[in-house]
Amino acid sequence: MYEWCQEQFQHTRDSYHYSGSVPAPGGNFPQWMVTRTNDQSEITLRALGRVRKARDNEKPHQAVIEVSFRGTAIVDNWTTNLEIKLEPLQVGEKVGNVHKGFQDAYLLLRGELLENIYTDLEALGGPLPGTILIHSTGHSMGGMLAMLAAYDLGTRGISARVATWGSPRLGDRDFVRCYNGVVERTLRLVNKFDPVPRLPPDPSQPIESDADLVHHLVGKLASKAQVACDYQHVCPCVQLDDGLSSSAQHWLGVATVVRNGMLKRTDGSATRQDTPVNVHDLVPHSLSSYGKNLDQAKHGSGASRNSALSDAAISAATLAAQSLFATGAGGTPATDQAPRSGSHATSSGSGAGTAQPSWRSLFANVAGSVAAHLADTAAQQGSENSNARSRH
């Protein structure tokens, strides 16, 4: 399974970065490319593909279609992503409703895509339906296009397998039921703190982890969130990254952002350097994040993960503490200077002159508490691993 995932990942990466000749030499992927551009001549949609003879491990199929779809790359794509209106499905058995923006994007590619596929199938001798297999893959928006292509061809008697990376929900319950009756296998790969697989936001989803809570709060702030309750994923996800390590890195990022913000309030120096923040730890949606976690899923060491977890948790707790010291006990900058002219202090009874805790100090508290808990968990896991090794 890992080798198949690795090949699909490579095809997905090619959908973003391939710049070689098309068709690629020696019959390699890709043999054709389908694109659409906007008024500024920017490529808004891109699909790569080829048709080849089946390998031994793909028999009794005679021919294999491989296609990958590029995800969100420019502002036009985000416009497509944010349009969450459902509309009736226009391909295949036309059962259920799907995301209007994604369906519109697929329909723009569909004619040329199918023409390339069937031309290449004819060149292989025209294998009969039932002897053809499609591997369809994509990241983010590209995953939705990959699913629509697999479903479309699946209704034509072609066996369909799909791998998506960080892709949102595509359609409603009726579409999901019809899709799963046609598509043989879908592998939906996600990173724990990637918000995109939770789009469109659905506040009714259960909260079972710290990532669920973060995305639940974000979803409640999103407009039209109630509409998303009609959306369903086609299958359960497979989380690529290690949950505890991802939490430690995420909250380390949160604590770093909070600390930078607090120091900015207390130190106006132009020479002050903010602690760098890895955006991929805060929002691990990039394809490179998925590639890193896919590689670690196969080669990662439990001991190294626990070490990284402990380091990140301790760093997060330290940064959170620094943020709190920077704000003082009440959430305001810790300073001996008198308030500047024009500043306002709150006064209420015996609490006169004490500011209410700020949102930054609240986040610092949260990040520090989570990090401390993760550090304890890492230490416990390390102890359990040591005891297990000593018994053997």
Q: Is residue 21 part of a domain?
A: yes
The residue from 220, 239, 258 where one domain ends is: 239
The CA distance from 336 to 346, in Å, is: 18
Residues 35 and 183 in one domain: yes
Residues 231 and 269 in one domain: no
Tell me the residue type at 114: L
Q: Is residue 345 part of a domain?
A: no
Per-residue pLDDT of the chain (392 residues; tens, 9 = 90+): 889 999 999 999 999 999 999 999 999 999 999 999 988 888 999 999 999 999 999 999 999 999 999 987 644 444 444 567 899 999 999 999 999 999 999 999 999 999 999 999 999 998 887 899 999 999 999 999 999 999 999 999 999 999 999 999 999 999 999 999 999 999 999 999 998 998 887 777 788 888 888 887 776 665 444 445 689 999 999 999 877 778 878 877 777 777 676 666 565 555 556 667 777 778 899 999 999 999 988 776 554 555 555 555 555 555 555 544 444 444 444 433 333 333 333 333 344 444 444 545 555 555 555 555 555 555 555 555 555 545 55
pLDDT for 242 equals 74
DSSP state at residue 226: G
Residues 33 and 155 in one domain: yes
User: What are the residues whose beta carbons fall under 8 Å from the beta carbon of 21, sequence distance 6 or more?
Assistant: none
How many structural domains compose the chain?
Answer: 2
Residue 354 structure tokens = 């004490």
Region at 26 (left for phi over 0; alpha for psi -120 to 50; beta for the rest): left
Residues 40 and 166 in one domain: yes
Residues 223 and 266 in one domain: no
CA atoms within 13 A on the CB side of 281: 20
pLDDT for 117 equals 98
pTM metric for this prediction: 0.77
CATH code assigned at 148: 3.40.50.1820
pLDDT for 249 equals 80
Angle, helix 141-154 to helix 75-82, in steps of 10 degrees? 60
Residue 59 structure tokens = 């028999």
Angle, helix 243-266 to helix 210-221, in steps of 10 degrees? 60
Residues 274 and 235 in one domain: no
Residues 155 and 257 in one domain: no
Domain interval for residue 380: 244-331+357-391
Q: Is residue 77 part of a domain?
A: yes
Task: Judge contact between 45 and 106, C-beta under 8 A.
Answer: no
Residues 261 and 228 in one domain: no
The residue from 214, 239, 264 where one domain ends is: 239
CA angle at 273 for the pair 270 and 275, rounded to the nearest 5°:
150
